Structure 1
Amino acid sequence: MTAQLPYATLHEIFSRFQASEPEPKGELNHTNAYTLLVAVALSAQATDIGVNRATARLFEIADTPAKMLALGEEALIEHIKTIGLYRNKAKNVMKLSEILVRDYGGVVPSSRAALVSLPGVGRKTANVVLNMWWRIPAQAVDTHIFRIGNRTGICPGRDVDQVERAIEDNIPAEFQQHAHHWLILHGRYICVARKPKCGACIIADLCHSEDKTI
């Protein structure tokens, strides 16, 4: 496992990320906390582009838990059947919508514990919602962050929980709010899995990767 980069290096890395994109955004389309929750839950083992395509019409007619329940599971399936695992995801969306209406007055809770208790909602999904909607500096570790965290030494860890703790424990507090977005975007477009685009990387001189293509 790659060694953790020192604080001064991390500060310089995230200063560059911030200068390049001061307000990074998630790429899943949503209009409120509920549609964000549903979109993130649907995005497991699917691309953001595919989810956005499937939810474009869905969220026009079902942007609250009550409306989703009124729509019904079979109609939901028709909207999301291009997404992987769509039947299981449809069941989870209907179940979590029922719980939100029954137990939370139709409002998505701002508690991680409450969120992860919902069907189909894991820690990563909960952290995305907490970060993007309530601006709580929660760190959602996906495959991109896990890969580049270990490749570069920004946030190394043997599993996603260790990588999440490495972000929280080592990345300067001033960058915590947007840290996972900067890392996801960097991993998605620059520090890609098979052949990282080091020639276009703004932190190439700072990372510890042995896979550099420069």
Structure 2
Amino acid sequence: MNKDKRRIILERLRAENPHPQTELNYHNPFELLVAVTLSAQATDVSVNKATDKLFPVANTPAAIVALGVEGLKEYIKTIGLYNNKAINVVALSQILLDKYNGEVPENREALESLPGVGRKTANVVLNTAFGWPTIAVDTHIFRVSNRTKFAPGKDVVEVENRLLKVVPAEFKVDVHHWLILHGRYTCIARKPRCGSCIIEDLCEYSPPKIK
């Protein structure tokens, strides 16, 4: 896909949604960090249902540590992998208290050193909480980037690097949200909704031929 076509795609996505936001509910960087950590292999809807009850009770590292692993499990037990997630969230909360004065560090290396926080989670926090031009590649963005040929790659790191290379600076802060929403609601996994897609005429997807 050439750069002119990419720019038109980005301009259309921006026109449709000028100020895209994450669908996770949060009010501060720590809530976002917890929500993103809980969202691994889970839907934003399921995470929001849990955190809408959790955060009014515990939305700081100190409060989460006070709640403890077993206490936290009671709030997040409807989320997949909740046992390990509870352990990680309490552990990262303790580290934030011990090393960062209870604040979420605006630093990739520091974020990725926290239990349960990988590159994707760090990218989301840096982008959404701090406005960094990072691009977190999840399954939706990986699918859209490859299917449309916008930024193809064999794995999430390759797709991330390609996106960082081909997306102009003016779009970098928001492109993560545009692509994830496009993949979640239009360019869905099983059968993309091409007829209602605003970039269908620019997409280079070749649907499999029916034998």
Counterpart of 2:121 (choices 101, 115, 125) is 125
Aligned twin of 2:29: 33
Counterpart of 2:182 (choices 172, 182, 186) is 186
Residue 164 (structure 2) pairs with residue 168 (structure 1): yes
Matched residue type, 1:116: E
Cα distance in 2 between the residues matched to 1:62 and 1:156:
41
Classify the secondary structure of the residue corresponding to 2:56.
Answer: helix
Cα offset, 1:171, TM superposition:
1.2
**Could you list the runs of 4 or more consecutive aligned residues of structure 1 that deviate by over 6 angstroms after TM superposition?**
none
Q: Please give the TM-score of this superposition, normalised by the length of structure 1.
A: 0.96
Aligned twin of 2:201: 205
Cα distance in 2 between the residues matched to 1:133 and 1:210:
37
Cα distance in 2 between the residues matched to 1:56 and 1:166:
36
Matched residue type, 1:80: I
Cα offset, 1:57, TM superposition:
1.2
* Paired residues, number: 209
Q: Please give the TM-score of this superposition, normalised by the length of structure 2.
A: 0.97
Instruction: State the identity as a percent.
Output: 57
Aligned twin of 1:150: 146
Does structure 2 conserve the Cα–Cα contact (< 8 Å) formed by 1:196 and 1:212?
no
Deviations 1:48-83 (A, max 9, x none): 000000111110111110011111111100000000
What RMSD over aligned residues (CA atoms) do the two structures have, in Å? 1.1
Classify the secondary structure of the residue corresponding to 1:60.
Answer: coil
Cα distance in 1 between the residues matched to 2:3 and 2:162:
12
Cα distance in 1 between the residues matched to 2:149 and 2:63:
45
Label 1:50 to 1:15 Cα distance change in 2 as closer, same or farther (>3 A): same
Classify the secondary structure of the residue corresponding to 2:62.
Answer: helix
Task: Give the alignment of 1:49-64 within 5 angstroms.
Answer: 49-64=45-60
Cα offset, 1:100, TM superposition:
0.2
Aligned twin of 1:134: 130
Counterpart of 1:96 (choices 92, 95, 99) is 92
Residue 66 (structure 2) pairs with residue 70 (structure 1): yes
Cα offset, 1:212, TM superposition:
8.3
Cα distance in 2 between the residues matched to 1:19 and 1:45:
30
Question: Can you give the 5+ residue segments of structure 2 that lack an aligned partner in the other structure?
Answer: none
Matched residue type, 2:162: A
Counterpart of 2:5 (choices 4, 9, 33) is 9
Cα distance in 1 between the residues matched to 2:189 and 2:44:
18
Counterpart of 1:113 (choices 109, 116, 131) is 109
Higher normalized contact order (CA 8 Å, seq sep 6+, divided by chain length): 1
Matched residue type, 1:184: I
Cα distance in 2 between the residues matched to 1:19 and 1:46:
29
Aligned twin of 1:19: 15
Does structure 2 conserve the Cα–Cα contact (< 8 Å) formed by 1:34 and 1:64?
yes
